[in-house]
A = this chain, B = another copy of it.
Amino acid sequence: MASISNAFSLSLPSNRIANSSSDFNPITSALSGLDSGEFSPGRVAVSKPSGIGGRICANATPVMDQPVGEKSSGAPTIVEVDLGNRSYPIYIGSGLFDQPELLQKHVHGKKVIVVTNTTIAPLYLDKVVEALTKGNTAVSVEYVILPDGEKFKDMDTLMKVFDKAIESRLDRRCTFVALGGGVIGDMCGFAAASFLVNFIQIPTTVMAQVDSSVGGKTGINHPLGKNLIGAFYQPQCVLIDTDTLDTLPDRELASGLAEVIKYGLIRDAEFFQWQEKNMEKLIARNPNALAYAIKRSCENKAEVVSFDEKESGLRATLNLGHTFGHAIETGFGYGQWLHGEAVAAGMVSCHGC
């Protein structure tokens, strides 16, 4: 059985690490920097490893043979984010674009604008438009296709969303739909917050599915810092069709799995153990393993968010590795490093915190 550290080194590009040596592995090194006192809010205690490349064992609990869940074939798995009158469901499963009722019951008003990018639009825009309109001709759907990448998560690109919405004469009774990765979700969410309308998240990367689409953090970058301009704004629902991961590049998959591992590290020892046993399946894109990892990650994030919606305390634990990670992303130019890569390297840096 491959350990997380070894399995993960298959996917993360070593040339993304400044001053890397040939055997440098950010996840391995991140884990090597942990001791049991560093993540006090978590439920997991991690033994101090002997060095780079060492295997990580989660305290004394035996590694469990956690099931990977039933194959998603019909009804989606639902994770509820409990935020009072801002609560919403996360639907997780295969083939969810073929279940139009899931989206349609969360559409507000008669007009929808789908915000997506040049990579995702050719793959999934038609499917989503069909899901929004099938059997419901009263709804009209507009869309805006933005350039793809973190470096476009800025005010100029955000204005294109407002331009389209206003040219289309949308008012407050409409719905914005974010179709894409974390950049699209963050921008569309902030646009919806600033246009005072409802929105729906349809994340298409692991990173967006397990992190950025859950919890209502929306926003854009400033040239001097990442995510500095934004709002806490909760969606009406999150729809995760795991089939979208079939088209995800390997590097994006690895970046997302770094966030999955983070949940195990900071607060869920059993999940961490499950990851140890199932990392090869995750990297091989086993749909059941991915669906389970996404569900469990969303449950963890939803629980944290429900305790601390606006990041005044506990929720900050989710930022493990993010201080240095954001500095890397900003310093090297947005888009040079994927978020998960930078965060993984940031977790390494936490060793010296």
Contacts from A to B (Cβ < 8 Å):
155, 159, 162-163, 166-167, 190, 193-196, 219, 222, 224-225, 228-232, 310
Q: Are A195 and B229 in contact (CB under 8 A)?
A: yes
Point out the residues of chain B lying under 8 angstroms from A196, CB to CB: 230-232, 310
A194, A231, A232, A310: most-surrounded residue (chain B CB, <10 A) = A194
Given known pairs A155-B155, A167-B224, A224-B167, the reply for A162 and B193 (CB within 8 Å) is no
Q: Are B228 and A193 in contact (CB under 8 A)?
A: no
CA distance A260 to B231 in the complex (A): 33
Given contacts A162-B229, A166-B228, A195-B229, 8 further A-B contacts (CB under 8 A): A155-B155, A162-B222, A166-B222, A167-B224, A190-B194, A194-B194, A194-B230, A196-B230
Q: Are B159 and A155 in contact (CB under 8 A)?
A: yes
- Minimum CB–CB distance for A136 against chain B, Å: 24
Q: Are A194 and B231 in contact (CB under 8 A)?
A: yes
Please name the residue on chain B nearest to A312 by beta carbon.
B172
Point out the residues of chain B lying under 8 angstroms from A222, CB to CB: 162-163, 166
CA distance A166 to B230 in the complex (A): 14
- Minimum CB–CB distance for A313 against chain B, Å: 13
CA distance A155 to B155 in the complex (A): 8
- Minimum CB–CB distance for A331 against chain B, Å: 15
Please name the residue on chain B nearest to A190 by beta carbon.
B194
Q: Are A195 and B155 in contact (CB under 8 A)?
A: no
CA distance A162 to B163 in the complex (A): 21
Q: Are A228 and B159 in contact (CB under 8 A)?
A: no
Point out the residues of chain B lying under 8 angstroms from A162, CB to CB: 222, 228-229
Given known pairs A155-B155, A159-B155, A194-B219, the reply for A166 and B231 (CB within 8 Å) is no
Point out the residues of chain B lying under 8 angstroms from A194, CB to CB: 190, 194, 219, 229-231
Q: Are B193 and A231 in contact (CB under 8 A)?
A: yes
CA distance A195 to B228 in the complex (A): 7
Point out the residues of chain B lying under 8 angstroms from A225, CB to CB: 166
- Minimum CB–CB distance for A101 against chain B, Å: 26
